[in-house]
Amino acid sequence: MGHLDYNKETRKNKHLTYRERLKIECMLNDRKNASEISEQIGCSRRTVERERVRGQVTQLNGATWEYYSKYDADYAHNSYRAGHEGKGTCLKIGYDHKLSEHIEAEVLKGISPDVIANGLLKLKEKFSVTLCTRTIYSYLDKNIFLNVGYKDLICGRYRKKHREAVSRPSYKNLRGRSIEERPASVEDRLEAGHWEMDLVVGGSQGSKAVLLTLTERTSRREIIRKLPDKTQDSVVHALDVMERQMGRIGFSKKFRTITVDNGAEFLGSREMERSCISSRKPRTVIYYAHPYSAYERGSNENMNRMIRRFIPKGEDIGQYTKKEIQRIENWLNNYPRKILSYRTPLEVYEQVA
C-alpha cells in the first residue's frame, strides 16, 4: 500500500504550512491518529509522524508539577523557518578578499556597479570570479561588504520613465523652431555636432550662479560653463566666449544644432543663433523641445543628474571654482558608459567628430 492511499487529494506543495501544523496540533489533542490526520490534510502518514516527532516540546503540568511532551505548532513552524534561513548556494564572491576590497574602493570613488562589473571582465586573471551588475547591487543591498553598502552609492537604481510625446507647442515661444522641425539624422544620432543644453541651478540662498551644461548627443561629451546668473544675456555671453575661442567656422562645425527647453533663459533664439564675429551669419541652429518633455533632451538630463553627484541640490554653485567645475567635466568625459559599450565620451567623440 502506497502513501497516496492515505490521501483524499494529492498535495500540490511539498512543505507543510503553518495553518496545517495548527490543524495537526488540534487533531493530536483530540487523540486522532496519523492516518486520520493525513487524510484531512492531504499528505502521507509518514509526513505526519515525522512532523509530530520534530514538533515535540516539553512542558510542565501546573497541577501535578510533572513534565510531559506534546506537539506544538508554533515551535514546529519556527524550527522549520530557522532551518531554511541558510538555504541556497554560497556567495559567488566566496573568500576572495582582494575582489571585495577592489569593489569597495571603486564604490567609494563614485563608480557605478554596472561599470565595476564591466571592469571585472577585463581583470579575470586577477580575481577568482567575476560578478554581474545585479549581483553587486544585491550584495550592496544585503550589506555583504564590510566597508560599503547601498547607501554609499552616489546614485541608486534608475528606472526610465516612459511617457507619451506631447504635441502641443509652447505658447510663450511660438517664434522658436520646434523639435518637430529637427532633421531625422539628429534624432537617430548618426552624426556628431548636435547638442542638448540646459542649466543646473543652485540653492535659493547664496549667490545666483548657475551651470550651463551642453551634452553632445552621439558621444555624450559634456561641456560645463559657470554663469553668474540665470538670464538670457549670461547664456548668450557664454556662447560668444566659446565662439571667439573656436572661431565662427570652428564653432559652427562643432555646434551644428542645439536643443533646449522653453525656459525664459533660452527664449532668445536669435541672439543665441547669430554669430558675435559676423552678425550677418548664423553660428548654430536652436530647436525647442515640447513643454514638460524633458525626455526629449534625455542625454542632457542624465548628465545633469550625474553632476549632482558632485554638487547636490540646494548647494551654492558660486562657492565652486572654475578649476573644480573643470574637474567635474573631465570626470564625466572620462567615465565609461554602458550605452557607449563602456567607452568614455571622449573616446567616442574623437572617433565621430
The string of pLDDT tens digits covering residues 312-353 is 999 999 999 999 999 999 999 999 999 999 999 999 999 998
Q: Where are the domains of the chain?
A: 3-83, 97-152, 179-352
Rounded Cα–Cα distance for residues 277 and 280 (Å): 9
The hierarchical CATH code for the domain 179-352 is 3.30.420.10
Q: Report the percentage of the chain scoring pLDDT > 70.
A: 91
Q: What phi, psi does 200 have (nearest 5°)?
A: -110, 115
- 44-80 core/surface letters (b: 16 or more CB in 10 A; e: else): bbebbeebbeebeeeeeeeeeeeeeeebbbebbbeeb
Q: Which residue has the cell 554602458?
A: 338
Rounded Cα–Cα distance for residues 79 and 54 (Å): 9
Q: Report the percentage of the chain scoring pLDDT > 90.
A: 65
Residue bearing the bigger pLDDT, 94 or 53: 53
Rounded Cα–Cα distance for residues 268 and 283 (Å): 14
User: What pLDDT, on a 0 to 100 scale, did the predictor assign at position 1?
Assistant: 41
pLDDT in tens, 106-124: 999 989 999 999 999 988 8
Q: How many residues does the chain have?
A: 353
- 292-331 core/surface letters (b: 16 or more CB in 10 A; e: else): ebeebbebbbbbbebbeebbeeeeebeebeeeebeebbeb
Among 60-64, 100-104, 297-301, 338-342, name the one with the lowest average pLDDT: 60-64
Rounded Cα–Cα distance for residues 328 and 330 (Å): 5
Q: What is the mean pLDDT of the chain?
A: 89
Ramachandran bin of 298, using left for φ above 0, alpha for ψ from -120 to 50, beta for the remaining angles: alpha
pLDDT in tens, 14-31: 789 998 999 999 999 999
pLDDT grade for 83, boundaries at 50, 70 and 90:
confident
Q: pTM of the entire structure?
A: 0.69
User: What pLDDT, on a 0 to 100 scale, did the predictor assign at position 90?
Assistant: 81
